[in-house]
Amino acid sequence: MPIQLKPKEIQAFKRHLEDLGLPSVATYRAWCQDHGFDPAAKKHWRDRRQEQLAARRMGTKDEDEDALKAHIAALGLDSTSEYQIWCRTNGFSGKLYKTPSQRVQERRMLGQLRRQAQQAGSLCHTRKTGTIEQIYAGDLDGEHPAHPYLHIIHNHFQTLRAADQPDIADAYLAQPQPDFTMKGRTVDSMLELVEDRHGEKLAEMWNDSDGEWPGTWTSGMPMTAQNIRDWHDREEYLTVHVWDAGDKIAGYCSLIHKEDEDEVVYLPLLNVSPHFQGKSLGRKILVNAVEKTIDEKKYRLDLDTWSGNFKAMAAYKRTGFFWDVGPWPLLRNFMPAILQMPCTRYFFDKHDWYRTLQGDLTHVPDDEQWDGLNVFIYRFDSGDDQLTVWADREARCITAVDTAEAFVAATVDHAAMEAVLAWTVDVIAAWEKEEKKKW
């Protein structure tokens, strides 16, 4: 008799087969029978979770080593230390042993990076910034950086890579980084509230950014300081921050209360001057926006953009925004809620959320399903600790949390007009905690 699965259940089952490393339904049934599991294809997600745990325990070291070596070679890398540096640079976990589906995501990222490099053409080679991030990732060799201090930094990273010390390299990368191209101007200034004195520099920033926006920003009428003042007098902003880099404004971000949702902050406008792009300034401003949302005791941060905004989408996703499926790109960020949950403090008291957040940065809507729900899945991995949080895309709230101590979920049957809310609490046994550490 054929398997009776709904389309969403089929997708979930295929992902489960990928996680187990099995190619077909027949091999899955044989695997289940060999290891004492029910061979049925239609199961609750908790049963599949137990199968994945068992598969991890039963996998041999030789098989894991062979799969790891093949994956590293597929990424064009030569060693595990290079692989860990590559993963952390591109937003993935630095752990070595991962599920097949996680490795597929990394290979997809490699393809995206190659396409971006082709589009950039010679731009990244003619640019004189010699950014420290590029040196850290191994994208620039020792002869390329034009500034003598960059040669020193290159040698430091090369030594750490050879000594297999990625944690020290990460700490070095986190230090304040000088700007070698702006003739003394740096982006290491603090974000500050907008004031009248910023008017002239803000007008200059918007005029410089004119071509960055669809149809231009000014519509042929250059901005003036008075335009800026009138604009801010008319609008009721929660806050407006600028990144003042001295003689220029490097970035701008405004926040307002969302009219139709009291517990949500909306980001109507974000801009980074073209003179300061390529320095991760947009990501720093977005992280600050998340922190300001928490200060307001709100649980979500939203923004809109346009589907062709290739420059910014990766930065949005890297800072916790998910692209909701719909007629235009509406992005939702549940990081404020996650960071305010008591059950997640054990993780964030020890680890930085931005550096441990994993995710798919590809330029497509985020469309994942879990236990019959449309969800956004937040995965955090420090190497030693893991945390997973599910946000219900339709209800727009947190629906499940998987911590080091327990798993808690609230789900409903979407087939019924009136449904009973079902809570699941799974306290993790000591042996399973040890297994989770190995993932």
Res. 140 pLDDT band, cuts 50 70 90 = low
Q: Where in the chain is the domain with CATH 3.40.630.30?
A: 187-298
Cα–Cα separations (whole angstroms), residue 28 to 38, 82, 398 = 10, 34, 32
- This prediction has a pTM of 0.58
Confidence class of residue 174 from pLDDT cuts 50, 70 and 90? Answer: low
Contact (CB, 8 A) for 336 and 290: yes
Instruction: Give dist(CA 290, CA 169) in Å, integer.
Output: 26
Closest CA to 255 of 274, 272, 242: 242
CB burial readout 416-430, b (16+ within 10 A) else e: eeeeeeeeeeeeeee
Phi, psi of 148 (to 5 degrees): -60, -35
pLDDT band at 161 (very low <50, low <70, confident <90, very high): low
**pLDDT of res. 1:** 41
What is residue 419's predicted lDDT score, i.e. its pLDDT?
A: 53
CATH code, residues 187-298: 3.40.630.30
Say how far apart CA 254 and CA 246 lie, in whole Å: 20
Instruction: Inform me whether the pLDDT recorded for 211 exceeds 80.
Output: yes
Compute the distance between CA of residue 414 and CA of residue 418 in angstroms, rounded to an integer.
9
How far is it, in rounded angstroms, from Cα 18 to Cα 71? 15
Of residues 161 and 286, the one with the higher pLDDT is 286
pLDDT tens, 240-266?
Answer: 999 988 889 999 999 999 888 889 999
Average pLDDT, the chain: 78
**How would you classify the pairing of strands 300-304 and 264-272?**
parallel
Strands laid side by side in the 264-272 sheet? 191-193, 239-244, 249-257, 264-272, 300-304, 330-333, 321-324
Q: Of residues 220 and 133, which shows the higher confidence score?
A: 220
pLDDT digit string, tens, across residues 96-118: 767 676 777 788 778 777 766 55
Confidence of residue 130 (pLDDT cuts 50, 70, 90): very low
Over range 120-147, report the average pLDDT.
50
pLDDT band of residue 435 (cuts 50, 70, 90) is very low
Around Cβ 80, how many Cβ atoms within 10 Å? 15
Mean pLDDT of all residues in 78-96: 75
